[in-house]
Amino acid sequence: MGTKPTDGRAGRIGDPGRSPDVVSGPREERGRGSRARAWGSVLAKLLLTVAATWLILRMAGIGPNEIGTIDWSRVKLHPLPFALSVALLAATLPITAALWCRVLDEFGEPGVRLADAAAILLVANLGRYLPGKIMQLAGVGILARRRGLSATKATSAAIANQILNMVGAALCGGWLMATRMGTTSVVVGLLAVLAAAAFLYFGGAGALLGWLLRRTGSADDLPRPSGRGLALLLPGYLFNWALHGLAFACLAWGIGMETGLVVATTSFAAGYFAGYIALFAPAGIGVRESGLAGLLAPVVGAEAGIVLAALQRIWITGVELVGAAVGVLVLRRPPPSVAGGMP
């Protein structure tokens, strides 16, 4: 008997003689599984955010009765201090960009224009509203590369910048947190801050990022920043948090409430810190507000604390959105190397 001729193409994708289910079935199953995992992750993070928010409010003695009986008519707008609060908050944006430029210099990327740095950070900042804080850092790298900068150095500097910012927030908010929380929580928080500061000072950021680059096969050269150089930037971050506190105090004054400068600064910094370390909460939503309300409640009352915490989210988001819109306009212009060099 003769053998039946075979076609070497038989069994390949696209062969009419092969059932499409053999190819598409596993892919469809994988696609459905990936979507299910993604939605499951989103749901889990949402539940964690709600649970953390509720727990913090309960620890502060704020329950459904206090939330449900808020008299919003007590909010009395005073235009001058409110406008001052917006101006002060806007002033913190270029300061943050200037500090990032200094960190970039430590990572071997000097001479970045302040306008470009502010635009990159403001636009990438919108990624905070996605869980995990990863998209914010990824946005920094993508936008920096489009401006002719090293994406690796820009992202590395952004990580170091956030660590310094969180150390500054913890130091500014530590006084109020120490009076509102138990000894164990304060000790754990203090150790975490000291560990983060030591990590930066002894070159941990550069060493870790260099190791990650080697593991991913990247050929980018990442200089290790000077720990002393980064530590010398910390007063700048503390000043920026003090300015945030002054802006928040003006916001409270602008809506007819009084907090005092010290309480406004420490509570705002502590609430921001709590929201940032809650990686599951997009932009710290819920966690920051509940923490801030809980810290303010013993000083201004539970109702005023909730009102202030809710309005500060609208206040700061509005300023960030306007800043991001201006940043988009800046980034639409050609980078300095194309437009004619550095000014």
pLDDT digits (tens, 9 = 90+) for 61-110: 565 665 556 666 777 889 999 999 999 999 999 999 999 999 999 888 88
Let me know if residue 13 belongs to a domain: no
155 pLDDT band, cuts 50/70/90, is confident
Let me know if residue 18 belongs to a domain: no
Let me know if residue 4 belongs to a domain: no
287 pLDDT band, cuts 50/70/90, is confident
Let me know if residue 35 belongs to a domain: no
pTM of the model: 0.74
Range of the domain at 309: 49-339
Let me know if residue 3 belongs to a domain: no
State what percent of residues in the chain have pLDDT above 70: 62
How many structural domains compose the chain?
1
Least confident span in 156-160, 224-228, 292-296: 224-228
Q: Is pLDDT larger for residue 314 or for residue 54? A: 314
pLDDT digits (tens, 9 = 90+) for 18-51: 445 444 555 555 566 666 655 565 565 555 555 5
Print the SS3 string covering the chain.
Answer: CCCCCCCCCCCCCCCCCCCHHHHHHHHHHHHHHHHHHHHHHHHHHHHHHHHHHHHHHHHCCCCHHHHHCCCHHHCCCCHHHHHHHHHHHHHHHHHHHHHHHHHHHHCCCCCCCHHHHHHHHHHHHHHHHCCCCHHHHHHHHHHHHHCCCCHHHHHHHHHHHHHHHHHHHHHHHHHHHHHHCCHHHHHHHHHHHHHHHHHHHCCHHHHHHHHHHHHCCCCCCCCCCCHHHHHCCHHHHHHHHHHHHHHHHHHHHHCCCCCCHHHHHHHHHHHHHHHHHCCCCHHHCCHHHHHHHHHHHHHHCHHHHHHHHHHHHHHHHHHHHHHHHHHHHHHHCCCHHHHCCCC
Let me know if residue 24 belongs to a domain: no
342 pLDDT band, cuts 50/70/90, is very low
Let me know if residue 328 belongs to a domain: yes
Let me know if residue 20 belongs to a domain: no
Highest average pLDDT, of 78-92, 207-221, 286-300, comes from 78-92
